[in-house]
Each structure stands twice: as C-alpha cells, then as structure tokens.
Copies of this chain bind each other. A is one copy, B any other.
C-alpha cells in the first residue's frame, strides 16, 4: 500500500511549465507525461509506451500526438495509439491510460485514483496565485525525502527560528504558543500563531521596509494531502486589523506549498510566495525569490538528511511530541485516515476515454 492517499487531487506542475514540449513527472508513483494541445488543454498520459515501455516523455510531440522515441508508436491526446511501425492495423488494446487534469489558480492538478471519481472532489483554492492584486515568486525543488517529512516541517513553523534564523526566523516564532483546529469533514488543519511584539526578520524587513518590531501573524490552513497555505500578516507592532474595512496598514504574504509525493522517498516541493504590496517593484521580487529559495534549500538539506535518518532507524523508534506538534499530529492522523480509505484500491483503476 502506498503511503499517500488515493482518490485525491495533487499538484503536478505550474501551468507555465506545460507548453509545447513534453514534461515527464512521477506523481504518487505514477510516471506521467504532460503536454498542452494546440487548443490549450493539458493532457496527462502514462509515461510508458505500450510496446516496450519506453518513456513517452523522451519522445516527440507533433500535432497534439506523441510519437514514441523508440519505435514510433503514436498516441493521441486520449492515449489511444493511432499509428505503429510497418503495419496499418493498430491493436485495439494499444492505448495508454489518460489521467484527469484540471488547471486552477495557475496550478495543474492531476487526480490520482479512480478517474471516475475525479469530479466528486473539489480542488482547494489559492486564488492569489493568479490574481492581479498579488505578485508571485515560485519554484519547485525535488526532495529526496518522503512527503510526510515536508508536511511535518510545514505544520510546525517553530523550526523557522532554528533552521531559518537570519532569513525568516526570529526567537518569537519558537516561543509563541499555537492554536490548532481541525475540520475532520473537510480534512483541513488550521494552526495559528499570533505574535504581538516580535523582531522583524530580514525576509520581511527588506521587502516591506518596516523598521522596528512587528505584529506577525501566521495562520496556516493545510488541505490534506497536497495544498498548504500560510497566511502571513505583517504590520508595525501595535497595528491590528481594523474592526471594519480593509486591513490596509498591514502587509500580507500568502505562502503556498504544493506537497506532492513522487515516490516513497521523493517529493515534489512546489513553493510560492505571493505578496499584496510593492507589486511592481522588481527589486522586492528578486529579493523574495532569492531569499525564499535559500530558505527552501535549508529545508531540502534538512529533510533529505532526515530521510536518511528515518531510513536507517532501528525499529520501534519513538518520537516525542509536544504542544507545537498538535498541528502536525492532526495532519498525520488525517493522512492516515485518507490512506486507509484508499486501501484495496489502486491508482490503476483508471478509465480511458473511448477512441
């Protein structure tokens, strides 16, 4: 049984990554190939030719069809083979599975599981990623670590103080208690940390221009399994949101993650930073892109190391959890529930469009 839930939407790519070429990416253990048709639709097919399983992502795209780079088997956008070498008749079984994809908020999502159930689940939103009111920097780092280590990491931001000191961490992040809420029906975990009088880390001081201490709010929403939202509110110390009207004395940063399992020991770490200030300031854009990339790479190094630790761990190893872990533990519990729901099913149970 895989360690990720089936019958779920996962972030497969940024919309802008899928253009007129072939993109191979393994999502939840499924090797997939993505491309965009002339009409602009995103296609996801199994990345294995039916003939000798050559990766279609190493092949050629022509007229919305993939021509296998090994022997030329040709597939249309539904995965049906429409040409094969040296013969006219194409076997009826010559087709590769097609996967259901959706584009929303500049993200390409793929449904992993029973394809007929895709429309029964809503894809969570992150509208600022595709809004004129925000400027976004983003990237993707492949982790050599299981996805649950990234979930743990993001659900407990007290690590900012120690792993990201000098970038986004200050003493107050680790010192301030959190509140946690869980929506068991929607499979969402909320974690909040409101710092009233905190040091301003370089990430925010250099991007907002604030000098002196700040009010810093971190409000996390984790839509298990894949979408993580951190609503970050920064304002000079003492400035709280008004009772009524817009919170325009504060700076808002929406930190968004797509946490996509690739294999049991690899994860695609999609990270996005959206801000509602200095929208056209290239220097701020450049600073946040560079600074956040550094922060992400600090996590990559730590998580890749932890994966090695976990892999080499003796059996029956017991972790110790404390108050800061309530969000992470809730996330684990929800993930375990979702994984168990998918038990006995396989991602293979997918339909193919009729030719």
Indicate whether A177 reaches chain B with its CB closer than 8 angstroms: yes
Indicate whether A322 reaches chain B with its CB closer than 8 angstroms: yes
- Copies of this chain, how many? 3
Q: Please report the C-alpha to C-alpha distance between residue A309 and residue B49 in the assembled complex, in whole angstroms.
A: 11
Tell me how far the C-beta of A355 lies from the nearest C-beta in chain B, rounded to whole angstroms. 15
Collect the chain B residues with CB atoms within 8 Å of residue A325's CB. 51
Indicate whether A324 reaches chain B with its CB closer than 8 angstroms: yes
Collect the chain B residues with CB atoms within 8 Å of residue A48's CB. 309
Knowing A70-B162, A70-B163, A70-B302 touch, does A53 contact B313 (C-beta < 8 A)? yes
Collect the chain B residues with CB atoms within 8 Å of residue A314's CB. 348
Indicate whether A19 reaches chain B with its CB closer than 8 angstroms: no
Indicate whether A85 reaches chain B with its CB closer than 8 angstroms: yes
Indicate whether A122 reaches chain B with its CB closer than 8 angstroms: no
Closest partner residue, chain B, to A313 (CB atom): B53
A127-135, A153-161, A204-212, A249-257: which one contacts chain B?
A153-161
- List which A111-155 residues lie within 8 A (CB) of chain B: 152
B68 touches A319 (CB 8 A): no
Collect the chain B residues with CB atoms within 8 Å of residue A60's CB. 162
Collect the chain B residues with CB atoms within 8 Å of residue A162's CB. 60, 67-72
Knowing A67-B162, A70-B159, A175-B86 touch, does A320 contact B50 (C-beta < 8 A)? yes
Knowing A72-B162, A93-B320, A159-B71 touch, does A86 contact B174 (C-beta < 8 A)? yes
Among A67, A70, A156, A325, find the residue whose CB has the most chain B CB atoms closer than 10 A.
A70
A156 touches B306 (CB 8 A): no
Q: Which bucket holds chain A's interface residue count?
A: 35 or more
Indicate whether A167 reaches chain B with its CB closer than 8 angstroms: no
Indicate whether A176 reaches chain B with its CB closer than 8 angstroms: yes
Q: Please report the C-alpha to C-alpha distance between residue A94 and residue B320 in the assembled complex, in whole angstroms.
A: 7
B310 touches A86 (CB 8 A): no
Tell me how far the C-beta of A111 lies from the nearest C-beta in chain B, rounded to whole angstroms. 19
Indicate whether A305 reaches chain B with its CB closer than 8 angstroms: yes
Collect the chain B residues with CB atoms within 8 Å of residue A87's CB. 177, 322-324
Q: Please report the C-alpha to C-alpha distance between residue A48 and residue B31 in the assembled complex, in whole angstroms.
A: 35
Indicate whether A84 reaches chain B with its CB closer than 8 angstroms: yes
Knowing A159-B70, A159-B71 touch, does A177 contact B55 (C-beta < 8 A)? no
Among A50, A86, A159, A323, find the residue whose CB has the most chain B CB atoms closer than 10 A.
A86
- List which A282-341 residues lie within 8 A (CB) of chain B: 302, 305-306, 309-310, 313-314, 317, 319-325
Q: Please list 16 pairs of residues, one from A and one from B, whose beta carbons are closer than 8 Å in the complex, sorted by A's number.
A: A51-B322, A51-B325, A52-B319, A53-B306, A53-B309, A53-B310, A53-B319, A54-B302, A69-B163, A72-B174, A84-B322, A85-B161, A85-B174, A85-B322, A86-B175, A87-B177
Q: Which residues of chain A have a CB within 8 Å of any CB of chain B? A: 31, 48, 50-55, 58, 60, 67-72, 84-87, 91, 93-94, 152, 156, 158-159, 161-163, 174-178, 302, 305-306, 309-310, 313-314, 317, 319-325, 348
What 4 A-B pairs come out closest when comparing CB atoms?
A85-B174, A85-B158, A50-B320, A72-B162
12 extra interface residue pairs, beta carbon distance < 8 Å, beyond A50-B319, A91-B322: A51-B319, A53-B306, A53-B309, A53-B319, A54-B302, A60-B162, A69-B302, A70-B163, A70-B302, A72-B161, A86-B174, A94-B320
